Amino acid sequence: MDCLPGVENLGPNSTKDSLLTDVEGILYPKETTRYWEEIQNFKARPDDLLICSYPKAGSTWMQEIVDMIQHGGDPEKCARAPIYQRIPFIGFSLPFSIPTSIEKIEAIPSPRTLKTHFPVQHLPPSFWEQNCKIIYVARNAKDNMVSYFYFHNMINIIPDSGSWDEFMENFIAGKVCWGSWFDYVQGWWKAKDHHPILYLFYEDIKEDPAREIQKIAQFLEIDLSASVLNRIVLHTKFENMKTNPLVNHSDLPFLFDQTTPPFMRKGKVGDWKEHFTVAQSERLDNICAQLFAGSGLTFRTQL
Ligand code: A3P
């Protein structure tokens, strides 16, 4: 596990060399690789539920939806702790966190709900062995990339994004934290053929949250009444999550720079149109069309 020379492209102001580590071609925060063996040896339990997404694809949104479903649509129950404590992140410990997130997760009684950003090849093997249910959220490359661009400047454990053009090159080359978006979404798409994975799209949830929340509830074998479903839809609307300090990460100013655009930034499908040139947009469309041809995997970039 050495620092990857390629991260030098990541922008003029970054302190990248000390922040990222390469594991088999994927860049990770140091806080992930510091505990690599411990994470890989993690013992999943058969009734663990895992929420997975590429960074900035809507994982926090999904965490809040799932927690609401699991707690009968009761916002008071979901106010018991910040989202990163209710549904901990496996694969990342806050800097100087003692005990580590792994030790904390091991101490949680069953059934546990966890979140991760691991690509398929680096998911701790016990999740596969125990046949754990996984909810995967995918978001179209363009909006995902825009959101990730801003996030690089917001969170202080990964390098700054550099210019938009630089970031785009790094995103396309997979030289960003947690690896190539293209490999990532395809890896999980293929995995659903041999594992209980509910593969969802950010755009679909945005289009019809009630429909998608019902799908999640069915996957979890939980019945939702119409009134509970309505409460979940309302509670997890972007505008409500944006002002909810238990999900908007405003409580972690040492990790998330509060002077940049906020964690709950726009919450839209199609914000990419404010950032991409026509040529850049066509380039990404072409890459996706080539890579996903015949796979059945398609993304909507507008509603
Ligand atoms: P934007 O930066 O485009 O606004 P993650 O939780 O995986 O880090 O993803 C963060 C992205 O999901 C951000 O996207 C954030 O605004 C968006 N998001 C979070 N909650 C949302 C909600 N309730 N509805 C729509 N988008 C949401």
pLDDT above 60 for 140 = yes
| Alpha carbon nearest to ligand 1 atom 26, residue | 267
Q: What are phi and psi of 288, to 5 degrees?
A: -65, -45
**What's the predicted TM-score (pTM) here?**
0.93
More confident residue, 36 or 7: 36
Q: Give yes or no for residue 238 CB within 6 A of ligand 1.
A: yes
- Give the whole-angstrom CA distance, residue 78 versus residue 40: 29
pLDDT above 60 for 4 = no
Q: Where are the beta strands (DSSP E) in 58-216?
A: 113-116, 133-138, 197-201
Q: Ligand 1: distance of its center to the CA of 54 in Å?
A: 12
pLDDT digits (tens, 9 = 90+) for 14-43: 444 468 999 999 999 988 998 999 999 999
Q: Ligand 1: distance of its center to the CA of 207 in Å?
A: 14
Q: What is the mean pLDDT of residues 131-139?
A: 98
Active site residues: 117
Q: Give yes or no for residue 262 CB within 6 A of ligand 1.
A: no
| Alpha carbon nearest to ligand 1 atom 17, residue | 267
- Give the whole-angstrom CA distance, residue 284 versus residue 277: 11
Q: What residues form DSSP beta bridges with 28?
A: 21
Buried b / exposed e along 104-141 (16+ C-beta atoms within 10 A): ebeeeeeebbbbbbbbbebbbebbeeeebbbbbbbbbb
pLDDT digits (tens, 9 = 90+) for 47-79: 999 999 999 999 999 999 999 999 999 999 999
Q: Give yes or no for residue 170 CB within 6 A of ligand 1.
A: no
The domain spans of the chain are 45-292
Question: Smallest Cα–Cα separation from 300: which of 142, 160, 175, 154?
Answer: 142
Amino acid 153: pLDDT: 87
- Running DSSP on this structure, what letter comes out for residue 7? G
How much is the mean pLDDT over the chain? 91
pLDDT above 70 for 2 = no
| Alpha carbon nearest to ligand 1 atom 12, residue | 58
CB atoms within 10 A of CB 294: 5
| Alpha carbon nearest to ligand 1 atom 6, residue | 60
% of the chain at pLDDT higher than 70: 92
- Determine whether domain 45-292 maps to CATH 3.20.20.140: no
Amino acid 13: pLDDT: 40
Q: Give yes or no for residue 242 CB within 6 A of ligand 1.
A: no
